[in-house]
Chains A and B, each alone.
Chain A
Amino acid sequence: MPIYLAAKEMWRLKGRFLLIASVIALITTLVLFVAALAEGLGNGNKEYLEKLNADLIAYKSGVDLSVQTSRLNRPTAQEIRRVQGVRDVGQISAATASVVLPNATGNIGVSILGVEPGRPGEPPVVQGRQLSDLNAREALIDRNTALRTNLKVGDTITLKTIQGTKEEFHDLRVVGITDGRAFFLQPSVIMPHLTWERVRPGAVNLQQSQMVSNIVAVQLMNPQDAAAMAQKIQAQVSDVQLVDRVTAYRATPGYKEQQNTLDTQKYFALFIGVLVVGGFFQIQTLQKVPQLGMLKAIGASNWTIAFALLAQVLLVTVLGVTLGTLASLGLSLTFPPTLPIVFTGGAVISAIASLVLIGPLAGILSIRYATRVEPLMAIGMTG
C-alpha cells in the first residue's frame, strides 16, 4: 500500500519529482567529480609509494618522513637487510627533471627515480622488460609519461637537468612501460640508481658501495609482522625510522592539505544535498497536509504514511544518484587521460552510498511532520 501510494503520486507529478531527481543528479556529479579529483590529485602524490613492492619504507630518523631530506647510505641499507625477518631491500632516490618532447616541441616535468634493478622499488612493467643493471643507460617510463610524450618501448627519452647553472641532456633507452607511478605530482621515469646519480641535478659518478639514497624499500618474510619488524629494525639499525606505505605517502608534502580541502568540498556538497532534498520534501509535505489528514481520517496508519513518504524519498534519491553517476562516467570518457580525474571503485561506491543516504536523512523531518498531522485540523473539522 505505501509503495502504491508513493508510486502513483510520483507518476502523476513526474515533472516535479524529476526536477528534484535532477538536482540530486547534479549534486551526485559534483560529489563524484570532487572524489575523483581527490583520487587523481592524491595519486599524483602517492601513486609510486602506494604501489611500492615493499612492506616498510626506511627514512633517516628526524626528518619528519621527508623524502627529499632523508639520506641513507649503502652500509645502512645492508644493515637493514641483515636484520632477521627482512627478505630484501632496495635503495630508492628521487629528483625532478624535464623530458624533452620529440622534435623539440617542448618539455614536460617528470620525477626521476633511481632504483636497484630486481630489488624492491623497481615497479613491474606492463610492456617491454625490466631494467638490467645498475649502470645501464636505460629507463622505464610510467603510463603517465607515456601518454604525455607518446614514447614507446625502444624509443630514446631525452632528460634535461640543471647541473650548477648549465643544462645537461641525457639520452636513455626506454625498455619498459609501467602502470601509473606518479611521484611529487609528476609522471615518473625510473632508472638504475647509478644512472640516476649521473643524471640528477648535482650529478656524481659513484660506485655501488658509495650509493646514497633518499629511502630504502624493505620487503619482509612475513608482511603481517610489519609493525613489530619496524620496531626491531629501528632497535638494531641506528638513525633510521620505518613506516608502512600508507604513512609514507600521507607524509608527502601537501598530500594531507590537498585531501582535506577536497574532502571538505565533498562533505559540503553532501550537506547541500541534504538541505535541498530535505527542503523539497518538507514543502511537499506541507502542501499535502489536507491529503494526509484525509488519509488518516479514513483509517490509514502512521506507518502507511511514513513508509509512503520514505519510499518516495528513496526512489527519487536512487533515480537522481543513478542519473548523476551515469552522467559523470559518461562525461569522464570525454576527458583527456592526462587530467587528474580518477574514478576508482572504492571511492565511487563510497560516494554513491553517502548520496543515497542523504535522501532518508533529509526526509526524516518531513516524515516526522507527516505522522504528526492532526486529521481533524488538517481536514478542517475543528469547528
Chain B
Amino acid sequence: MGYALETRNVKKVYGSGNSVAIAVNNVSLHVKQGEFLALVGPSGSGKTTMLSMLAALLRPTAGQILIDGRELGKMSDAERTRFRREKIGFTFQSNNLLPFLTARENVELMLRLNGKFDKAGQRRVIELMERLGLGERLNSLPRQLSGGQQQRVAIARALVHNPAVVLADEPTAALDTERAHQVVQTFATLIHEQERAGIMVTHDLRMVQYADRVAQMMDGNIAREITAREEINALASEGRIENPSARLHAAPTPGSPSREQMPQPALAM
C-alpha cells in the first residue's frame, strides 16, 4: 500500500563511545493520505525528535523516512530544504508567524517561497482563511490576533501550498482549553477534507479525540498504537496523563466504531 508518510526502523542516536543516548529506537510507522495521527508521550519519549526527522530538519542515524515516495536520507541539505518548502507543512508551538507580515501575508509566504504566488494562489489564500474563520482578520498583524487565531493562520500557511504531509508540534501548548479544542478540531477537519497526511505531537491527551490513530512513544519506541475510536475517546476523556505506563496494556474494545461512523465535528470558528 502507498503511504503518504512511512518510516522504516528509524533510529536517532546522540553522542558516541561511552556517552550515547538513543532518542528514537527503530520506529516504524505510516500515515495515509487523509489520515490524522496523534503522536503522544511524556517529555523525553522521543516524539519531538521523531517529528524533527519527519520534517527533514534532522537526519536519522539509521532507517528510512519516505514522504510522497521520496526517501529523505538520500537528499542533500539543499534538497531537503526544497523538499520542506514544497512537500511539508509545519506549525510550531510558538513563533509561527512573522510579526511584520499581516495574517494574509504570512499565509502567502509559502506560495512566495515556492514561486507560486499568482492570482490562483491569492484566491486560494483567501478561501482557506475564510474557511478557517479568518475572513475578517486578513490584514491584521499577528500581535492583533488571539493565540487561537494565530495558530489557525499557521494552519492555513501549512496547507496553502498543498503539501503531502502536515506536521504540528504542540499546537495547543500556549492556548486555553476552548481555543485548543478549536484549533485541533480545525486541523483535523482540514486534514480530512484536503486528503493530507497529518501528524500532531502533543502532551495534551484531551486533543487525541480528533485523531484517527494515536501512537504512544516511550523511551524512543512506539509503545502502543491505538486505532479503536472508543479507546481513543476514553484516552482523551481522562485528560492529561500523568502515568503513561498505565495506558499501555489496555486492549482495544471489539466492535468499536471507525472514524467514518462517528459524526464529523463542525469547523470551529
Contacts and interface: CB of A to CB of B under 8 A. Distances in A.
Looking at chain B's contact residues, the main secondary structure is mixed
Contacts of A376: 52, 57-58
A380 B81 contact: no
Contacts of A299: 81-86, 88, 110, 113-114
Interface residues of A, number: 27
A298 interface: yes
Nearest to A300: B113
Interface stretch (A5-13, A36-44, A143-151): A5-13
Interface string A295-311: 11111110010000000
Contacts of B82: 299, 301
A281 B94 CA distance: 24
Given A1-B113, A298-B109, A379 B92 contact: yes
A300 B84 CA distance: 9
A304 B51 CA distance: 25
Given A298-B85, A299-B84, A299-B88, A291 B95 contact: yes
A372 to B, nearest CB: 13
A291 B95 CA distance: 7
A85 to B, nearest CB: 66
B48 interface: yes
Interface string B86-104: 1010101111101111000
Contact of B81 (A12, A293, A301, A382): A301
B52 A381 contact: yes
A298 B95 contact: no
A297 B113 contact: no
A383 B50 CA distance: 11
A50 B220 CA distance: 81
Nearest to B93: A380
Contacts of B110: 298-299
A9 B97 CA distance: 13
A381 B92 contact: yes
A381 B50 CA distance: 11
Contacts of A304: 113
Interface in A1-49: 1, 4-5, 8-9, 11-13
Nearest to B173: A380
Nearest to A296: B81
A251 interface: no
Contacts, number: 78
A187 B113 CA distance: 64
A12 B100 contact: yes
A30 B216 CA distance: 66
A273 interface: no
Contacts of A380: 92-95
Looking at chain A's contact residues, the main secondary structure is helix
A314 interface: no
A4 B94 contact: no
Interface string B57-75: 1100000000000000000
Contacts of A293: 95
B123 interface: no
Contacts of A290: 94-95
A343 to B, nearest CB: 38
A241 B218 CA distance: 93
B105 interface: yes
B164 to A, nearest CB: 13
B109 A297 contact: no
A275 interface: no
B113 A298 contact: yes
A294 interface: yes
Contacts of A5: 98
B113 A294 contact: no
Nearest to A382: B48
A123 interface: no
B55 interface: yes
Contact of A375 (B57, B78, B99): B57
Contact of A9 (B44, B51, B100): B100
Given A293-B95, A383-B43, A298 B58 contact: no
Contacts of B85: 298-300
Contacts of A295: 98
B6 interface: no
B53 to A, nearest CB: 10
A293 B96 CA distance: 10
Given A376-B58, A381-B48, A383-B43, A297 B90 contact: yes
A222 B177 CA distance: 93
B224 interface: no
Contact of B92 (A11, A297, A300, A383): A297
Given A1-B112, A299-B86, 13 more contacts: A4-B112, A8-B105, A12-B141, A294-B92, A297-B55, A297-B90, A298-B84, A299-B83, A299-B88, A300-B113, A301-B82, A379-B94, A380-B92
Interface of A: 1, 4-5, 8-9, 11-13, 290-291, 293-301, 304, 375-376, 379-383
16 contacts: A8-B100, A8-B105, A12-B101, A296-B81, A297-B84, A298-B90, A298-B157, A299-B81, A299-B83, A299-B110, A299-B113, A376-B52, A379-B92, A379-B95, A380-B92, A380-B93
